[in-house]
Amino acid sequence: MLQLLEGEKELILACVDEVLKNNSKNREDLIPVLQKVQAKLGYLPALAMGKIAEGLQVPAADVYGLATFYNQFRLNPPGKHQVKVCLGTACYMVGGDITLESFERRMEIKEGETSPDRLYNLERVACVGCCSMAPVVVVDDVVEGKVTPTRVDGIMLALNEEVKKDEKEQKAERKEGEA
């Protein structure tokens, strides 16, 4: 499980409190409550699910079961960069699974997870409608076609460069702010 960032615990607790305050405490409200908390936090942390279970007086296992049952809920925080690997039939037939494994190895996470530094998250998706370009990967909403493991290296290199550039810019901004 990913570590919470500094101040994130307080943020989660405040968010759940606010959502519960504005909802009836019925068990039937579980899905809308989960939806609202996810809309605010971008995902459903375990801490939030525990608090929701307490607030609605339902077993924590039921909350977790529901959150894992529906695709609309995500249990990991979104990464700064999102990589979606298509495993629809056309992509799978030409090595979509190998592309996915290549990303898993390079990111050191499994499909469905977010890297501990929250820079990347990796997902598998069904057909994205570009079968002629199979195997297809969607990187931050940009569609990449004919993705071989070598291309995976190129994509990761470009993403890492972008991360470094962002960090440099943020550092410069902080320095400017301090001056």
- Helices 149-178 and 96-107: angle between axes, nearest 10 degrees: 40
Q: How is residue 158 written in tokens? A: 């470009």
- Would you give the binding string for ligand FES spanning residues 83-102, x where CB under 6 A is met? ---x-xxxx-----------
Q: Does 11 bind ligand FES (CB under 6 A)?
A: no
* Min CB(138)–ligand FES separation in Å: 9
* Min CB(92)–ligand FES separation in Å: 7
Which contacts (CB < 8 Å, 24+ apart) does range 18-25 have? 20/51, 20/52, 20/55, 20/56, 25/55, 25/56, 25/57
Q: Which is nearer to ligand FES, 75 or 91 (CB)?
A: 91
Site for ligand FES in 115-154 (CB under 6 A): 127-131, 134, 136
DSSP string, 136-165: -EEETTEEE-S--HHHHHHHHHHHHHHHHH
* Min CB(113)–ligand FES separation in Å: 21
> What residues make contact with ligand FES under the rule CB under 6 A?
86, 88-91, 127-131, 134, 136
